[in-house]
Amino acid sequence: MKKNSEVQIDRKLSRDDLIVVAGAGGFIAGSITRYFHELGYTRIRAVDRKPLPEWYQRVPGVESLSMDLSEKANAIRAVEGAAEVYNFAADMGGMGFIERFRVECLRSILVNTHLIDAAWRAGARRYFFSSSACAYNTDLQKDPNVRALRESDAYPAMSERGYGWEKLISEMFCQEYWAERGLETHIARFHNIYGPHGTWFGGREKAPAAMCRKVLEAQDSGDMRIEIWGDGTQTRSYCFIEDCVLGIDQIMHCDQLIATPINLGSSELISVDDLVSMVERIAGVKLERRYDPNAPKGVAGRNSDNTFIRGVLDWEPLTPLQTGMEKTYAWIAQQYADRKAGKRVVTD
């Protein structure tokens, strides 16, 4: 199997072809914007509804536009002249946000509806949609010792309410725009992407960042306790951002994956309790644990079956969780110190 350094991609793109990245003020889209810029692509248009000063990453030399893509006219403007369109724009966050703001999550379907139609009308060659493992049937995720989810497990459909259903119906839009209108679409189902430059406080953060922040807060305050949502037995796999970005590039430019949803995630399963223990070891502390059974906790278990991606790409995300968490903790620790000093930090 290929290592990240061994991956070669035939993008069929000229250096001056226009790449449009929607949701670029956020974590994953900001990272993919920087990725393509560092590869030498000279025309990148980054779009997000957040005001420019609030973007997680601003890449010099990239056209950056603050527009709400749930408005049709803005979607049309965003993709003018685009060769490729990457749609990461969505109202989302960790489980606390997903369970409490289902209507906002559902409304993200407006972005994909307008953006994919505008991309087709503009003559874009390829369109990428960032889906989620939340699209999978929740009946298969009731045990922490969950069987890893295969791509076929999305049907019969019983997605997570709100966010999961939005992702599943948007996947269908992508498949039908290819089948009926000939727009080449690509779909990746993300499994808990984490790493530097992601949300780490404010209510939208996911478990890896939340645990890092809580450990830092305990150390800073001297109150050596940590609150854990649920009973700590819930299991997940977490995919490091560098693997995610490389996976997106490969999936977008693979002819075997046109209009075909595919998992993009690590298969390294870990419980919430063990994730806390990992962060404690990284930080060199031991905390008293308090469990909140009434807090949002999502499904009991979820893991990524990577059989399909290994078969098609001869590759899968392989960054060990320990390695990724060490990098993430170090970055959040610096953010925490900067915030305490009154400097601007990343949040949502």
Residues with catalytic function: 163
CA dist 141 and 233 (Å) reads 13
* Edge-to-edge strand ranges of the sheet holding 63-66: 63-66, 44-48, 18-22, 82-87, 126-132, 184-190, 262-264
CA atoms within 13 A on the CB side of 28: 30
Q: DSSP secondary structure string, 204-248?
A: ---HHHHHHHHHHHHHHHS--EEEEETTS--EEE-EEHHHHHHHH
**E strands present in the chain:** 18-22, 44-48, 63-66, 82-87, 126-132, 184-190, 193-194, 225-229, 235-237, 239-240, 262-264, 269-271, 288-292
CA dist 163 and 140 (Å) reads 17
Name the strand (E) or helix (H) holding 96. helix 95-100
| Helices 109-122 and 163-181: angle between axes, nearest 10 degrees | 20
The 8-class DSSP code of residue 265 comes to S
3 state SS of 308: helix
Give the closest residue to 47 by CA, choosing from 5, 15, 90, 4: 90
Where do we find the tokens 């560092």? 38
